[in-house]
Amino acid sequence: MKFIELAEQRCSIRGYKSAPVADELLNEILQAGNLAPTAKNLQPFHFIVVRDGDKLDQLATAYSRPFLREAPLVIVICTESAKGWTRDQHDGKNYAEVDAAIAIDHMTLAAADLGLGTCWIGAFDPIMVTAAMGLPDGIEPIAMLPVGYPSEPGREKTRKPLVELVRYDHW
Ligand SMILES: Cc1cc2nc3c(=O)[nH]c(=O)nc-3n(C[C@H](O)[C@H](O)[C@H](O)COP(=O)(O)O)c2cc1C
Give the CA count within 13 Å in the CB-facing half-sphere of 159.
8
Contact indicator for 97, 142 with CB cutoff of 8 Å? yes
Q: Give the model confidence (pLDDT) of 43-81 as tens digits.
A: 999 999 999 999 999 999 999 999 999 999 999 999 999
CA 169 / ligand 1 centre spacing (Å): 31
Domain assignments of the chain as residue spans, ordered by start: 3-165
What DSSP character marks residue 70?
A: H
**CATH class held by domain 3-165:** alpha beta
For the whole model, what pTM was predicted?
0.98
The number of the ligand 1 atom at minimal distance from the alpha carbon of 67 is 11
Biggest CA-to-CA distance, the chain: 53
Pick the residue whose CA is nearest to atom 15 on ligand 1: 120
Would you state the pLDDT for residue 50? 98
CA 120 / ligand 1 centre spacing (Å): 5
- 141's enclosing H/E stretch is strand 140-148
Q: Give the model confidence (pLDDT) of 112-156 as tens digits.
A: 999 999 999 999 999 999 999 999 999 999 999 999 999 999 999
Would you state the pLDDT for residue 70? 98
Would you state the pLDDT for residue 124? 98
Q: Which of 59, 83, 77, 66 is nearest to 16 (CA)?
A: 66
Pick the residue whose CA is nearest to atom 9 on ligand 1: 121
Q: Which of 120, 129, 145 to mutate to test the pocket of ligand 1 (most atoms within 8 A of CB)?
A: 120
Confidence of residue 22 (pLDDT cuts 50, 70, 90): very high
